[in-house]
Amino acid sequence: MTKNNSFLYLNIAGDTSDCCGDSCCADELNVEITHDQLDSMTASIQHYYGIFATSALDRVVDSKHIPSTDKFYTQDQREVLPAEVAGASAGCGNPLGVANAALGEIVMDLGSGGGVDCFIAAKEVGDEGFVIGIDMTPHMLELARKNAEKLGTENVVFKLGHIESIPQPDDTVDLIISNCVIALSQRKDRVFSEIFRILKPGGRFVISDMVTSDAIPSNVQKSPNEWVACVGGAAVMSEYIEMIGDIGFSDIEILKEEQSRPYADDWQSTLINLTLRAYKPHD
């Protein structure tokens, strides 16, 4: 007997309004998910991005697909990336573009996907630095490791893990980045607590994420479709920033703020692509 489950079907229509910003995952991914596969919002996200990873090459050859790297990244950054890496991008900003990663730093990318930001960071920190990518989707990790091998990148490692419980010792990372991933978490307070734990004193995070200017409708918050699109779990920006301060971060600074869907005239007009930076205080 089939049980009722609000996550029973996940049908993602692929126009540019369905994801993080105008172009983060502009594809047609229509996925039927059974109750045996899907018992939680986390599972829906993992399932969706697993399919997103395995279809990355299809997007490379699709002339209609515009990767998010084309919108948010500089020409110099894009030149580092082969087409198949850009095909797995699904961000709503460019945190590395304002993070000022330095030679020799240890950088961690939360929700590293196919490795886009990791490979750019690897160039910036040089051979003396190191980059760690964390992702909960095995297919994404497989794709990222294949990409690393193709690029010959030796100062990057990709780990399986959840951003609410990061497999990394305390006080070991100089810079944490994330690109439209924290919005996918149902425990954002836990994510930022983990970021605080892992950063070295004086270390910083620079993240791009989806937030809102006002609370979105409850039916949107409960929708698996909207969650995988980084929308259902988007926090109100003022509450998001207050939470970061409450956890202990200092010098919180908004680096970029823009409407995600500027032509919308309903609740979607409240969606914001936010990039911000904050520091873990020195002891």
Q: What is the DSSP string of the chain?
A: -PPP-TTSEEEE--STTSBSBSSTT-S-EEEE--TTT-SSHHHHHHHHHHHHHHTHHHHHT-TT---HHHHHS-HHHHHTS-HHHHTT---SS-THHHH---TT-EEEEET-TTSHHHHHHHHHH-TT-EEEEEES-HHHHHHHHHHHHHHT--SEEEEE-BTTB-SS-TT-EEEEEEES-GGG-S-HHHHHHHHHHHEEEEEEEEEEEEEESSPPPHHHHT-HHHHHTT-TTPEEHHHHHHHHHHHT-EEEEEEEEEESSTT--SGGGGEEEEEEEEEPPP-
Q: Could you read off the pLDDT of 227-281 as tens digits, one per residue?
A: 777 788 899 999 999 999 999 999 999 999 999 888 888 999 999 999 999 999 9
The count of other CB atoms within 10 Å of the CB of residue 278 is: 23
**pLDDT surpassing 90 at residue 12:** no
Q: What is the pLDDT of residue 138?
A: 83
**pLDDT surpassing 90 at residue 37:** no
Residue 264 tokens read as: 């919308």
Q: What is the pLDDT of residue 72?
A: 63
Inter-residue contact 68 to 45 (CB < 8 Å): no
One CATH from 3.10.580.10, 3.40.50.150, 1.20.120.1230, 3.40.50.1220 for 9-279: 3.40.50.150
**pLDDT surpassing 60 at residue 98:** yes
Q: What is the pLDDT of residue 238?
A: 96
**pLDDT surpassing 90 at residue 85:** no
CA distance 65 to 24: 10
Residue 184 tokens read as: 């996918």
Q: What is the pLDDT of residue 192?
A: 97
Task: Calculate mean pLDDT across residues 82-94.
Answer: 65
Task: Report if pTM > 0.85.
Answer: no
CA distance 128 to 132: 14
**pLDDT surpassing 80 at residue 108:** yes
Domain layout of the chain by residue ranges: 9-279
Determine the distance from the C-alpha atom of residue 257 to the mean position of all C-alpha atoms in its chain, rounded to a whole number: 16
Mean pLDDT of all residues belonging to the chain: 78
Task: List Cβ neighbours of 79 (8 Å cut-off, separation of 6 or more).
Answer: none
Higher pLDDT, 105 or 228: 105
